Amino acid sequence: MVKSISFWIVVFLVSSVNCFCQESGQMTKIDGKSISFELYEIEKRHFGQPLVILESNHASSFDTWNKVINNLGENVPILAYDRAGIGNSDQFDESPTPENRTRQLKKLLEKLNLEPPYILVGHGWASILIKDFAMTYPESVEGMIYIDPVDESSSFEKMITIFNQEGWDGGKIANEFFELRKERFQQAPAGIKAEAQVMYEFAKGEKSNTKLYDFPEIPSAVLLGGNQESYMKNPFEPKLSVDYLQVVNLLQRHRISNLTDLILSQQDSEMIILSKYMHYLHLQEPEKIAESVRSKYFGDPAKKIISASQTYGPEDFQNYVEGLISYQPEGKLTEPQINMLGYDQLRRDQPEHAMVLFSYNLEQNPESANVYDSMGDGLVALGKTKEAIPYFEKAVKLGEKSQHRDLGIFKKNLASVSGEK
């Protein structure tokens, strides 16, 4: 029974070279070549709202993300597309290296008028591709999701070291293992074969940027399939000098250890191991993938506001804050938090930015004494003392009604400006 199940798993994965292809999608031209893509919820996207970009694994078309897209729900802007030479997209003349994939994606985003920020989601080999994009355009990326990513333990030199530590002939076994990988895609379509060659050369160290094994300093989530044994059982009995499954499980242990060390060095990042599943986690556990995407998509709204205040002028900052609040879950930004962020802007000598936050708080909390007092402080910082007086008066009136703990401060603020009438 186990062999039968393993056989169909392998057939499914090997057949993915030809079968992971969507039936339809929009088309556009990049450098004279057709690129297949699909957009979701774009018409509802607000200024500064992150765009989720889904990068498929080698040989896979973008419709492998359908279950994840459905689980992300409404109001999450998404771009899913086929890289050149994959699915319905034309093959480019240039080699599909990570650098060229970054250039092609950047041109696609410009063609479709899709401004940053971006949340990048990459499966398998695509984890290397999204790293290259993020390292090239770090200011454009807010979050990274790696699904069963490529790591350094899959490189030729690292494999030799790992195998030698086991007392094996590391060079011989690594060569055998790589030849098996190379043979897998010899009969594949040209575009898929070209990318497979780049992957082979990257892992062999012949044409690779080893920095792409590291994680950019961007909030990240790593999701790994732990059930490698059933995934890698092979009915074709690959010939290695040692047991094939022993090799695979050894590499997986090193992979988990390596990725753990990497993720622990990152801020606002996490790693999840799904022990029941294998490589195609977004097909097997789309809810968990969507949950990880949402965690980076929503992020920490307070940090987002602080960052936006340093990037945008007052008018764009107002548009950003209005958009941010519209797509954040209800209650994620409270009145005290927004008030605190407003005073942070005053300390940064940005009173117009502060007034954006104070005005929103007043609109949402018209019976709060504190928001009127904050509005008064903001107007004073703008040099509009006379305009501030009615707000301080309202703060005192509401404060007396509710016996607010800061009533004394409200009265003191009112007294400090009343003498300037």
Q: Are residues 176 and 273 in the same domain?
A: yes
Q: Are residues 136 and 220 in the same domain?
A: yes
Q: What is the mean pLDDT of residues 387-401?
A: 97
* Domain limit, last residue, from 279, 298, 317: 298
Q: What is the mean pLDDT of residues 56-68?
A: 95
Q: Are residues 358 and 411 in the same domain?
A: yes
Q: Are residues 32 and 130 in the same domain?
A: yes
Mean residue pLDDT across the chain? 89
**Tokens 């000098």 sit on residue:** 241
From CA 20, how far away is CA 12, in angstroms rounded? Answer: 10
Q: What is the pLDDT of residue 234?
A: 53
From CA 22, how far away is CA 4, in angstroms rounded? Answer: 28
3-state DSSP call for residue 367? coil
Q: What is the mean pLDDT of residues 137-149?
A: 96
* Domain limit, last residue, from 254, 283, 298: 298
Q: What is the pLDDT of residue 19?
A: 38
Crossing angle of helices 244-264 and 156-165, in 10° steps, is: 110
Q: What is the mean pLDDT of residues 346-375?
A: 97
From CA 26, how far away is CA 79, in angstroms rounded? Answer: 11
| Residue 233 confidence class, pLDDT cut points 50, 70, 90 | low
Q: What is the pLDDT of residue 282?
A: 84
* Domain limit, last residue, from 277, 298, 319: 298
Q: What is the pLDDT of residue 191?
A: 95
Return phi, psi of residue 330, to 5°: -60, 135
Q: Are residues 377 and 244 in the same domain?
A: no
Please report, as a single letter, which amino acid is at residue 174.
A
> What is the secondary structure of 249-262 as a DSSP string?
HHHHHHHHHHHHHH
Q: Are residues 154 and 240 in the same domain?
A: yes
- H-helix or E-strand spanning residue 51: strand 51-55
Q: Give tens-digit pLDDT for 153-208.
A: 999 999 999 999 999 999 999 999 998 888 888 888 999 999 999 999 999 997 76
Do the bridges between strand 33-40 and strand 78-81 make them parallel or antiparallel, or are there none, so unpaired?
Answer: antiparallel
Stretch among 19-23, 141-145, 148-152, 325-329 having the lowest mean pLDDT: 19-23
Say which CATH number the domain at 276 has: 3.40.50.1820
Question: Which residues have a Cβ under 8 Å from the Cβ of 32 and sit 6 or more positions away?
Answer: none
Stretch among 146-150, 222-226, 334-338, 404-408 having the lowest mean pLDDT: 222-226
**Which residue(s) pair with 400 in the sheet?**
none
| Residue 22 confidence class, pLDDT cut points 50, 70, 90 | very low
Kindly report whether the peptide bond that precedes residue 98 is cis, defined as omega within 30 degrees of 0. Answer: no
From CA 119, how far away is CA 290, in angstroms rounded? Answer: 12
Q: Are residues 380 and 352 in the same domain?
A: yes
Answer yes or no: is pLDDT of 1 > 70: no
Q: What is the pLDDT of residue 240?
A: 85
Q: Are residues 140 and 259 in the same domain?
A: yes
Q: What is the pLDDT of residue 398?
A: 97
Q: What is the pLDDT of residue 231?
A: 46
Q: What is the pLDDT of residue 259?
A: 94
* Residue 193, token pair as written in the block: 């074969």
Q: Give tens-digit pLDDT for 96-130.
A: 999 999 999 999 999 999 999 999 999 999 999 99
Q: Are residues 369 and 293 in the same domain?
A: no
**Which residue(s) pair with 118 in the sheet?**
51, 141
Q: What is the pLDDT of residue 227?
A: 67
Q: What is the pLDDT of residue 267?
A: 85
Q: What is the mean pLDDT of residues 359-367?
A: 96
Say which CATH number the domain at 347 has: 1.25.40.10
Answer yes or no: is pLDDT of 235 > 60: no
Stretch among 16-30, 308-322, 404-418 having the lowest mean pLDDT: 16-30
332: domain range?
A: 301-418
Answer yes or no: is pLDDT of 247 > 50: yes
Q: What is the pLDDT of residue 35?
A: 98
Q: Are residues 253 and 341 in the same domain?
A: no
Closest CA to 2 of 330, 219, 341, 230: 230
Q: Are residues 252 and 343 in the same domain?
A: no
Stretch among 139-148, 306-315, 323-332, 411-420 having the lowest mean pLDDT: 411-420
Q: Are residues 250 and 342 in the same domain?
A: no
3-state DSSP call for residue 188? coil
Q: What's the structural domain count of the chain?
A: 2
> What is the secondary structure of 324-354 as a DSSP string?
HHHHSPTTSS-HHHHHHHHHHHHHTT-HHHH
Answer yes or no: is pLDDT of 56 > 90: yes
Distance of CA 395 to the CA centre of its chain: 43
